Amino acid sequence: MSYVAVSAISHPGLLRERNEDSLVVGPWTLCATVTENPQTLIFPLGTPLVVAVADGLGGHPGGDVASALVARRIASLGPALSSEVAVRDALNVCNRAVHRAAGGDEGGELAGMGTTVAGVVVRPDSLLVFNVGDSQVFAVSAEGLRQLSVDDSPPHPAWRTTSLVTQCLGGSLAFRAVEPHVTAEAVVPGERWLICSDGLTDPVPTDVLAEILQEHDDGRAAFECWKAAIEAGGPDNITVAVVRVAQE
Helix (H) or strand (E) holding 69: helix 63-77
Q: Does the structure show a pLDDT above 80 at 157? A: no
Helix (H) or strand (E) holding 11: strand 2-11
Domain layout of the chain by residue ranges: 2-155+163-247
Three-state secondary structure call for residue 79: helix
Distance in angstroms (rounded) separating the CA atoms of residues 211 and 145: 9
188 pLDDT tier (thresholds 50, 70, 90): confident
Mean pLDDT of 114-135: 97
pLDDT, tens digit, 9 for 90 and up, residues 12-64: 999 988 999 999 999 999 997 888 889 999 999 999 999 999 999 976 779 99
- Residues in the chain, total: 248
pTM assigned to the model:
0.94
Name which residue leads in pLDDT, 70 or 187: 70
Distance in angstroms (rounded) separating the CA atoms of residues 53 and 68: 10
User: Rounded to 5 degrees, what are φ and ψ at 227?
Assistant: -60, -40
Distance in angstroms (rounded) separating the CA atoms of residues 74 and 167: 18
**Out of 3.40.80.10, 3.60.40.10, 3.40.50.2020, 3.30.460.20, which CATH number does the structure's domain 2-155+163-247 have?**
3.60.40.10
pLDDT score of 102: 93
Beta bridge partners of 128: 121, 184
∠ CA(217), CA(25), CA(175), 5° rounding?
Answer: 130
162 pLDDT tier (thresholds 50, 70, 90): low
pLDDT, tens digit, 9 for 90 and up, residues 196-232: 999 999 999 999 999 999 999 999 999 999 999 999 9
